[in-house]
């Protein structure tokens, strides 16, 4: 089983042979692992209101409810779609030449009621854990077009995007028969979602920001955050939840879990520290928004690497992500496109940095297993080629399909709100509410 040395991929390989199927011995539930996975599932769900707070604090007062609703809408819409179709499309056996998965027993989860997986957890737990990834991914995209999108159009977009973009990429990377899962010696490394979650959402965010255009008045008018205290609290919740995101992706409670948790902590701290130092040297003061951005940059970069790098790699990836994400945001400001809350600058760029740079910090035992798998040698440069292929495929597919979806929805339902609606704010125009009960809104 050396092929599946990083635990999440081991799990997906075992999924098709779970329970007592194929004459296997009966698998019993491990209460320790199941307890940790239940906790991890809750931690990842906690990230969604954390994201709502993070994004909600960054927009203007008149848009705080509308922006936070984007995250909660993802919890609701994908919360229904995932057990209905998403799990089957992502983790079912490949169909259509491996483009997507499907297994009728996963439809509405009706065929897994008694299934205990070979990792000794109920399959329900794994399905719900993965469902939280499917929820937060489209919610991340909303940061790119905050303050200017129609709620109905957004709801339709994330529903279709989840099925047509997220599920195929998830199948390619994490399903046992996915082509990226089987590329090279031991597959493209994506322990917890560098390509599946962050690159796919980040690239889509960039496409959406460019397609929909800038907010009215941007960049001429300064658009200050309404509540950086809430943004900091959101960043803190995301950091806490990320332990479930990464350490939970071990689908175990063992050494691999401890490794993933440790490097997650270190990368987040390194990212925040590096961003803080950049601001101190460049501007003479460290900002709360900079610290929050650095935390996220480090967390995003370590996500694909959490199962294969050691602590020194975590520090390096966190620092590298902070530098590249900072530069990406500076470039955005210079070019002038309006990625409102830097969804691409943090998640897209951080995901790309993590997915590629992890190659240079893989622990020796993983490389030895890869070499043994191919019956000879396996070099860093060969693995870098595998990683680059996965990144390239994800970017191309997410960008092209997302652009088509944006065009169709804009021309039918409508996605960009009118000038009057934008001036009055999403809270009033989309929801008939006010976040703070204020009259003079910014």
- The alpha helices in 374-418, defined as continuous H runs, are 380-412
Continuous segment of H or E residues that includes residue 139:
helix 123-141
Taking residue 118's Cβ as centre, other Cβ atoms within 10 Å add up to: 16
pLDDT in tens, the chain (442 residues): 334 444 444 444 444 434 443 334 578 999 999 999 999 999 999 999 999 999 999 999 999 999 999 999 999 999 999 999 999 999 999 999 999 999 999 999 999 999 999 999 999 999 999 999 999 999 999 999 999 999 999 999 999 999 999 999 999 999 999 999 999 999 999 999 999 999 999 999 999 999 999 999 999 998 999 999 999 999 999 999 999 999 999 999 999 999 999 999 999 999 999 999 999 999 999 999 999 999 999 999 999 999 999 999 999 999 999 999 999 999 999 999 999 999 999 999 999 999 999 999 999 999 999 999 999 899 999 999 999 999 999 999 999 999 999 999 999 999 999 999 999 999 999 999 999 876 656 6
Shortest CA distance to 70 belongs to which of 85, 54, 86, 87?
A: 54
**How high is the pLDDT of residue 23?**
39
pLDDT for the residue numbered 18: 42
Using alpha carbons, list the distances in angstroms from residue 42 to 39, 120, 162, 233, 244.
Answer: 5, 19, 21, 18, 8
Give ∠ CA 236-50-195 in degrees, rounded to 5: 95
pTM given for the model: 0.93
Judge residue 287's burial from the number of C-beta atoms within 10 Å of its C-beta, 0-12 exposed, 13-18 middle, 19 or more buried: middle
CA gap 93, 85 in Å, rounded: 14
State the SS3 of 68-94.
Answer: HHHHHHHHHHHHHHHHHHHHHHHHCCE
CA distance 191 to 337: 32
Phi, psi of 116 (to 5 degrees): -110, 125
| 166 half-sphere exposure, CB direction, 13 A CA radius | 31
CA distances from 150 to 139, 292, 418, 425, 426 (A): 15, 28, 9, 11, 8
- Kindly state the helix (H) or strand (E) to which residue 95 belongs, with its residue range: strand 94-95
What pLDDT is stored for residue 439 in this prediction? Answer: 61
pLDDT of residue 290: 97
């Amino acid at each position: 089983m050396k092929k599946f040395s990083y635990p999440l991929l081991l799990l997906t390989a075992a999924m098709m042979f779970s329970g007592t199927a194929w004459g296997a011995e009966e698998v019993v539930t491990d209460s320790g692992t199941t307890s940790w996975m239940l906790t991890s599932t809750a931690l990842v769900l906690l990230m969604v209101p954390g994201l709502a707070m993070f994004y909600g604090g960054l927009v203007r007062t008149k848009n705080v409810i509308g922006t936070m609703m984007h995250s909660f809408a993802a919890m609701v819409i994908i919360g229904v779609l995932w057990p209905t179709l998403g799990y089957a499309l992502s983790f079912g056996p490949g169909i259509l030449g491996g483009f997507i998965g499907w297994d009728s027993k996963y439809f509405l989860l009706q065929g897994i009621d008694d299934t205990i997986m070979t990792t000794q957890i109920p399959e329900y737990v794994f399905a719900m854990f993965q469902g939280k990834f499917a929820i937060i991914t489209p919610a991340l995209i909303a940061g790119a077009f905050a303050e200017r999108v129609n709620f109905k159009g957004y709801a339709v977009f994330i529903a279709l995007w989840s099925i047509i973009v997220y599920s195929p990429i998830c199948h390619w990377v994490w399903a046992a028969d996915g082509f990226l899962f089987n590329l090279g010696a031991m597959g493209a490394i994506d322990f917890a979602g560098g390509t599946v979650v962050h690159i796919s959402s980040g690239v889509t965010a960039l496409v959406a920001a460019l397609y929909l255009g800038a907010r009215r008045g941007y960049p001429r008018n300064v658009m200050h955050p309404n509540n950086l205290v809430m943004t900091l609290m959101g960043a803190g919740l995301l950091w806490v939840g990320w332990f479930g995101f990464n350490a939970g992706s071990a689908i175990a409670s063992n050494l691999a879990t401890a490794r993933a948790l440790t490097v997650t902590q270190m990368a987040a701290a390194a990212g925040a520290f590096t961003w803080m130092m950049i601001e101190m040297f460049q501007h003479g003061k460290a900002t709360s928004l900079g610290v929050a951005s650095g935390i996220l940059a480090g967390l995003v970069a370590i996500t694909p690497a959490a199962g294969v790098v050691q602590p020194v790699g975590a520090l390096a990836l966190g620092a590298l992500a902070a530098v590249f994400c900072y530069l990406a945001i500076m470039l955005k400001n210079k070019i002038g496109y309006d990625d409102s809350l830097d969804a691409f600058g943090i998640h897209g760029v951080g995901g790309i940095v993590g997915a590629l740079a992890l190659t240079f910090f893989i622990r020796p035992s993983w490389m030895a297993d890869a070499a043994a798998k191919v019956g000879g040698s396996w070099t860093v440069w060969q693995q870098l080629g595998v990683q680059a292929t996965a990144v390239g495929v994800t970017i191309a597919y997410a960008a092209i399909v997302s652009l088509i979806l944006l065009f169709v929805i804009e021309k039918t339902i409508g996605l960009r709100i009118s000038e009057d609606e934008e001036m009055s704010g999403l809270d009033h125009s989309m929801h008939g509410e006010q976040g703070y009960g204020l009259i003079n809104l910014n």
